[in-house]
Chain A
């Protein structure tokens, strides 16, 4: 019975997605943006960590050209080409189509993007920031690189489980028209939406949905088999650095003890064409202050 309901839901979602699909092309106006908007877009791009999942790790890999392998419990996916190449990238998509894919996880042809792409977090990015981000994405050199097909190993995953999962967990918020500009609200916005910190730092339940009752409490089974630290202010198992030390770290990768960041955190701090390191001191401080304000959660990661 549940299966039949899920299948029905899947069909309903497909119909809705098909209706939402348009064949519009980007207009000349969409291809042109002011220098200020591009700078803002690059800033947001950096504040996401440089959209690094869309760039293969390693020296000299073309930015945003996709191909990075991501293993998930349901199979393997490869990051897509989000350069402005018209054939293999997103160059032929309208601004609205790119925004819909980014914040709602839906391609112009109606296909659902698997929630490996953090659209649940990006759902909270302000409209103006998303528009600027899209304008900036269009300035990255186009790369002709075909997307690799995903390999799903769980039967009925896309026909049954994914629609049910999305119905249960997908974000339905309307993004704020404008982003908070200062204080804890700014920090929360950068942590939750733009920086999508929870995607790695919040533990997941059996359904693989984020367990936000333990927001940022660390994930012993993070991406690429990493143990992701608890960054709640719990004195025993969490982040004990001062606000300035956190801001220094996010802005440089340098830790207070002389160590230097590595792994995926290194990727998001250093970024691609921009990263966390390129955020203003005010924003880095807002993030640090917000991290100090969230509920401490006792959760020991690692031995």
Chain B
């Protein structure tokens, strides 16, 4: 009798845990299909590209306000990256490499780097110091974008 009651407890607890797991997994991201996730992150990366182009153009025009505004947009968007890459969110259209999920901590670190570097660029541009801003811009593509693209993205087959 005691044994069967224990078993019942285990089953009830198990069902409860399963339900909890399902509930926690049914948040906004998990409810999206891989196709939706891929489309959203490609849209996000397109915005990053636009921001980065605007930053470089603004810097050439000595428009530090433009640099700061676009760096802030990048910073806000950078915070959205990791949540758009749940395990298994791959489609034929995706240019994400499977290495993302094999080295997820490294991927998270690269996304975090974009967040901190874009904040640094925004804050530097806000000081009005053009030289310091250009110093950040000089290595930004490599440290903030390329550090993730190089290991984790399949490059486009068309150049220019």
Question: Which A residues have a C-beta under 8 Å from some C-beta of B?
Answer: 57-59, 218, 220, 226-231, 237-241, 245-246, 252-267, 269-270, 277, 301-303
User: Closest residue to B51 on the A side, CB-wise?
Assistant: A258
Which DSSP category, helix, strand, loop or mixed, fits chain A's interface? Answer: loop
B106, B145, B157: the one contacting A59 at CB < 8 Å is B106
- With an 8 A cutoff between CB atoms, is B80 at the interface? no
Smallest CB-CB A-B distances: 6 pairs: A302-B157, A262-B149, A258-B53, A266-B150, A258-B49, A227-B157
Q: Which residues of B contact A227 (CB under 8 A)?
A: 155, 157
The reply to whether B52 and A260 contact each other, CB–CB distance below 8 Å, is: yes
* Chain B 91-149 residues near chain A, CB threshold 8 A: 103, 106, 138, 141-142, 145-146, 148-149
- With an 8 A cutoff between CB atoms, is B160 at the interface? yes
Contacts A260-B141, A261-B146, A262-B150 hold; do A239 and B106 have CB atoms under 8 A apart?
no
B22-56 near A? 1/0 per residue, CB < 8 Å: 00000000000000000000000000111111101
Q: Which residues of B contact A57 (CB under 8 A)?
A: 150-151
| 18 intermolecular pairs with C-beta atoms under 8 Å apart | A58-B106, A228-B157, A229-B158, A229-B159, A230-B158, A239-B160, A240-B160, A258-B48, A258-B50, A260-B49, A260-B141, A262-B146, A262-B150, A262-B153, A263-B154, A264-B155, A266-B150, A303-B157
B47-80 near A? 1/0 per residue, CB < 8 Å: 0111111101000000000000000000000000
Contacts A253-B142, A258-B52, A270-B142 hold; do A263 and B158 have CB atoms under 8 A apart?
no
Contacts A226-B155, A301-B158 hold; do A260 and B53 have CB atoms under 8 A apart?
no
Q: Which residues of A contact B157 (CB under 8 A)?
A: 218, 220, 227-229, 301-303
Question: Which B residues have a C-beta under 8 Å from some C-beta of A?
Answer: 48-54, 56, 103, 106, 138, 141-142, 145-146, 148-160
The reply to whether B149 and A261 contact each other, CB–CB distance below 8 Å, is: yes
Complexed CA–CA distance, A231 and B158 (Å): 9
Complexed CA–CA distance, A61 and B29 (Å): 34
User: Closest residue to B159 on the A side, CB-wise?
Assistant: A229
Complexed CA–CA distance, A28 and B53 (Å): 51
The reply to whether A261 and B155 contact each other, CB–CB distance below 8 Å, is: yes
Which DSSP category, helix, strand, loop or mixed, fits chain B's interface? Answer: helix
Q: Which residues of A contact B50 (CB under 8 A)?
A: 258
Q: Which residues of B contact A265 (CB under 8 A)?
A: 155
The reply to whether B49 and A263 contact each other, CB–CB distance below 8 Å, is: no
A231, A256, A266: the one contacting B149 at CB < 8 Å is A266
A58, A239, A257, A303: the one contacting B53 at CB < 8 Å is A257
Complexed CA–CA distance, A243 and B21 (Å): 56
User: Closest residue to B49 on the A side, CB-wise?
Assistant: A258
Q: Which residues of A contact B141 (CB under 8 A)?
A: 252-254, 260-261
The reply to whether A261 and B150 contact each other, CB–CB distance below 8 Å, is: yes
User: Closest residue to A219 on the B side, CB-wise?
Assistant: B157
Q: Which residues of B contact A270 (CB under 8 A)?
A: 142, 146, 150
Complexed CA–CA distance, A227 and B159 (Å): 11
User: Closest residue to B157 on the A side, CB-wise?
Assistant: A302
The reply to whether B149 and A260 contact each other, CB–CB distance below 8 Å, is: yes
For residue A239, give the distance in angstroms from its CB to the closest CB of chain B. 4
User: Closest residue to B50 on the A side, CB-wise?
Assistant: A258
Complexed CA–CA distance, A218 and B155 (Å): 13
Q: Which residues of B contact A256 (CB under 8 A)?
A: 53, 160
The reply to whether B145 and A260 contact each other, CB–CB distance below 8 Å, is: yes
The reply to whether B158 and A58 contact each other, CB–CB distance below 8 Å, is: no
Other A-B contacts than A253-B141, A257-B53, A260-B141, 20 sampled, CB-CB below 8 A, are: A57-B151, A228-B157, A230-B159, A241-B160, A245-B160, A252-B141, A253-B142, A256-B160, A258-B53, A259-B49, A260-B142, A261-B150, A262-B152, A266-B146, A266-B155, A267-B150, A269-B146, A301-B158, A302-B156, A303-B157
